[in-house]
Amino acid sequence: MSQLKESGKKRVDLGKYSFDNGEQPGIKDLRQLSEEDRRQLTMAGMDISETQRSGSYLHVNHSKVHCKATQKGVEVLDIKEALDKYDGLPEYYWQAVDKDKDEFTRAAAEKIHGGYFIRTSKGAKIKHPVQSCLFIKGENVGQNVHNIIIVEEDSELHVITGCTTSSNVVSALHLGISEFYIKKGGSLTFTMVHNWGREIMVRPRTVCIVEEDGVFVNNYVMMMPVSSLQSYPAVFLNGRGATGRFHSILVAPEGSHIDSGNKIVLNAPDTRGEIIARTITTGGTIIAPALIEGNAVPAKGHLECKGLILSKGIIHAIPELKGTVSGVELSHEAAVGKIAQQEIEYLMARGLDEEQATSTIVRGFMNVDIMGLPPELKASIDKTIEETEKDMF
Amino acid sequence: MLTIEDLYVKVGGKEILKGINLHIDEGENYILFGPNGSGKTTLLMTLMGFDGYDVVQGRIIFKGEDITHIPPFERARLGIGMSFQRPPTIQGLKTRDMVRLCAGDKEVDVDQLAQEVNFTGLLERDINAGFSGGEIKRSELLQLMAQRPSLVLFDEPESGVDLENMSLIGRITRSILDGPLEPRNGVSMKELKSIHQISGLIITHTGYILDYINADRGTVLYEGVLCCIARPRDILEHISKYGYKECVRCLS
């Protein structure tokens, strides 16, 4: 373990960051933002025109600046307004995430800046995704957000959330608490794009609770540099027939320390869980823990961790399976290595030079098709891949 | 088209090819026979220029250029194409995109080509992911159709293929080698043949492929040495009757 520490684990000094006076004026339309900010938001998956979205939420530094829902059947509020409106949301607020888990949850509980509250109506199928962006503009800003998503019975929702900083921010800290509740027969696809910066520290804490026949799909894309990120979202499949899936694509350039894992707990019969993580380092460190725990039968879980070390860097895949009853079916495959020479030669035999072949294979490895994203988000992710690729070889 | 001069090749320090001399003319189809382990695949891999196949002596001349030491992609761009026996799966790379890559700068109608090899349903699948034996063959042919090489290296086009697929694969292999077989407006078949000068070097064990293509000459590779250049049918008939032991006698 001593070697792990040497590999660049960075401690967060909460005292360094400012958690006050970062309130920003609200805007009616995302097009009012500066061109530069719009570019950052677009890269993080925001549709500025909002035409292909059922709602939007934008949080800058310490306050909400834009929040609206455009489709019937879905409510989008700032968390502070939601807490006022719904008497403190006693069934949901700090009910999935433990307030005393660590110093970051305690800091987030102490002072809340905002965050989104998204709730569907029973049976509502929300056609377009609801989008959110948690944006940091300013030096040494410490941002505390608390997000709650409630997917009511038999309703469907896709939330796209991007977290990013304006291009001139050097140092900042983002603490994000997210609590998701999926009711009977509900379905939530949650897609998160992280575009941080070289000196940004990130500590999200996420828990999702899924009832009978509910579906939770979590897509996570993080390709840009970050100083240090540590997160371990967990989903508890508490109802019969519930499904949970995590798909992550992580890239760690030199200087990035990413500790990003997933946990699925199969607590009811007929539940299924799947974790797929693809990680690439070009000099940074990635720790990728993954745990599937089976506490009921029949239940199935599979996890797949694949890591590519392109030139240098560290990938530490930690797949874990825990079964507590007889009859659970849990499996995993993990691989850390380099691109297979055979694959490169196959492409070279078709006329691609070595660099083109390598890049084609890496692009395939980072392919997000499985996530089923809307085309403009996929296009923006492809653009990010293109940009990160420049630094890869 | 292709001239191999006194070629010696080592794999993992072991000498596999021991002085190969071979000439293939433009438009000529050459069949390579030989028992398992005789070095047939090594010869193809060496021609394509893969790592681990060390040419210790001799030269490979393609279209007048010495290609002995140039990397595979340059050989591919010069016009050498290869059908792989056991190609690797490339995750996230769709067959459709792979076919497009094979075409390089050339325009290609992937759907049209896929229809010809009955592959439309698999275009969105990752290349070679879970492909059956026949599917691998058809996918390789599809890629070659897009690549349009002037020398095609086939490693056992018939292996792992059921009878139904065999006729399709045979037909497509022939069309890759011989070009479009029907006369078109303003161009006679003779003219077509003269502009479509594709050569082939084809490894076969069973000879089934001979039912479909016009093979000009054949040769036997035995323990790293070529012998018995003859008509492919004659060689096949001979081997099926007497095995390769005659080759040993011939060489000794």
Could you read off the pLDDT tens digit of each residue along chain A, which spans 393 residues? 444 444 456 888 888 898 888 888 888 888 888 898 898 898 888 999 998 999 999 999 999 999 999 999 999 999 999 999 999 999 999 999 999 999 999 999 998 999 999 999 999 999 999 999 999 988 899 999 999 999 999 999 999 999 999 877 779 999 999 999 999 999 999 999 998 888 899 999 999 999 999 999 999 999 989 999 999 999 999 999 999 999 999 999 999 999 999 999 999 999 999 999 999 999 999 999 999 999 999 999 999 999 999 989 999 999 999 999 999 999 999 999 999 999 999 999 999 999 999 999 999 998 888 788 888 888 888 888 888 777 776
Residue B132 domain flag: no
Distance between the two ends of chain B, CA-based, in angstroms?
31
Same domain, A108 and A177: yes
Q: Which of A130, A149, A136 is nearest to A65 (CA)?
A: A136
- Chain B positions touching A305 (Cβ under 8 A) are none
pLDDT for A4 equals 46
Task: Locate B205 and state its tokens.
Answer: 């064990």
Domain span including residue A386? 339-393
pLDDT of residue B235: 86
Q: What is the ipTM of this complex?
A: 0.92
Task: Show residues of chain B in contact with A348, CB under 8 Å.
Answer: 71-73, 76
Residue B27 falls inside a structural domain: yes
Mutate to test the interface with A, among B70, B91, B150 (most CBs of A within 10 A): B91
pLDDT 10s digits, A220-250: 999 989 999 999 999 999 999 999 999 999 9
- What is the C-alpha end-to-end distance of chain A, expressed in Å? 30
Nearest-by-CA chain B residue for A369:
B92
Instruction: Say if the Cβ atoms of A365 and B51 lie within 8 Å.
Output: no
Q: Please list the residues that pair with A194 across neighbouring strands.
A: A163, A222
Please check whether residues A317 and A356 belong to one and the same domain.
no
CA distance A252 to A4: 16
A269-to-A244, A322, A329 alpha-carbon distances in Å: 13, 16, 12
> What's the mean per-residue pLDDT of chain A?
92
Cβ A308 vs Cβ A339: under 8 Å: yes
Please name the residues between 160 and 219 in chain B that touch chain A, using a CB distance below 8 Å. none
Cβ–Cβ gap A343/B51 under 8 Å:
no
Q: Does the beta carbon of B93 lie under 8 angstroms from any beta carbon of chain A?
A: yes
Closest CA to B109 of B81, B137, B146, B67: B146
CB proximity B98 to A under 8 Å: yes
Name the residue range of residue B243's domain: 2-85+151-251
Rounded-to-10 torsion of CA B16, B20, B23, B29: -40
Contacts of A341 in chain B (CB under 8 A): 51
Give the neighbor-by-neighbor strand order of the sheet with A329-337: A63-69, A55-60, A130-136, A156-165, A187-195, A215-222, A243-252, A271-281, A299-309, A329-337
- Residue B246 domain-assigned? yes
In the chain, the amino acid numbered A10 is K
Tokens found for residue A265: 């707990």
Angle at B206 between CA B201 and CA B209, to 5 degrees: 50
Q: Verify that A350 and A329 share a domain, yes or no.
A: no
From B51, B76, B88, residue closest to A351, measured CB to CB: B76
What pLDDT, on the 0 to 100 scale, is given for residue A10? 80
**Closest to A266 in 3D by CA, of A230, A231, A219, A302:** A302
How far B150 CA lies from chain A's nearest CA (Å)?
A: 13
Whether B101 sits inside 8 A of A354 (CB atoms) is: no
Q: Domain ends where: A338, A370, A385? A: A338
Tokens at residue A97, please?
């995430």
B178 vs A168: CA distance, rounded Å: 62
**Which residues are within 8 A (CB) of A257 and not within 5 positions of it... i.e. 6 or more apart?**
A7, A8, A9, A10, A226, A227, A228, A229, A284, A285
Residues A176 and A82 reside in one and the same domain:
yes
The whole-angstrom distance between A339's CA and the closest CA on chain B is 10
Residue B9 lies in a domain: yes
Is residue A189 within 8 A of residue A243, CB to CB? The reply is no
pLDDT tens-digit readout, B111-161? 999 999 999 999 999 999 999 988 999 999 999 999 999 999 999 888 888
CATH number, domain with residue B177: 3.40.50.300
Q: How many domains does chain B have?
A: 1
Q: State the SS3 of B204-224.
A: CCCCHHHHCCCCCEEEEEECC
Question: Could you give the residue ranges of the DSSP H alpha helices within chain A?
Answer: 2-6, 35-43, 79-85, 103-110, 341-348, 354-365, 375-390
DSSP-assigned letters across all residues of B141-185: HHHHHHH--SEEEEE-TTTT--HHHHHHHHHHHHHHHH---S-BT
Enter the DSSP assignment of A14: G
SS3 content of chain A, % helix, strand, coil (to 5): 20, 45, 35
Cβ neighbours of residue B185 closer than 8 Å, sequence gap 6 or more: none
Q: Which chain A residue's Cα is nearest to B93?
A: A364
The residue with tokens 């009757």 is B241
Q: Residues A101, A146: one domain? A: yes
Of the candidates A340, A351, A367, the beta carbon closest to that of B73 is on A351
Asked if A358 and A276 sit in the same domain, the reply is no
Band of the pLDDT at B192, cuts 50, 70, 90? low
Q: Which of A345, A361, A378 to mutate to test the interface with B (most CBs of B within 10 A)?
A: A345
Q: Total domain count for chain A?
A: 2
Say if residue A363 is in the same domain as residue A222. no
Given an 8 Å threshold on Cβ–Cβ distance, is B72 in contact with A365? no
Q: Residues A333-373: pLDDT tens digits?
A: 999 999 999 999 999 999 999 999 999 999 999 888 878 88
Other CB atoms within 10 A of residue B240 CB: 10
Say whether both A320 and A343 belong to one domain: no
Domain boundary pick from A306, A323, A338 = A338
Which residues in chain B are closer than 8 Å to A351, comparing Cβ atoms? 73, 76-77, 101-102, 104, 147
Residue B77 in contact with partner chain A when CB distance is under 8 A: yes
What H or E segment, with its residue span, contains residue A50? none
Per-residue pLDDT at A6:
42
Residue A33 to chain B, least CA–CA distance (Å): 36
Strand locations in A137-242 (E):
141-151, 156-165, 171-182, 187-195, 199-210, 215-222, 228-231, 234-237
Closest CA to B43 of B16, B15, B74, B3: B16
What does pTM read for this prediction? 0.86
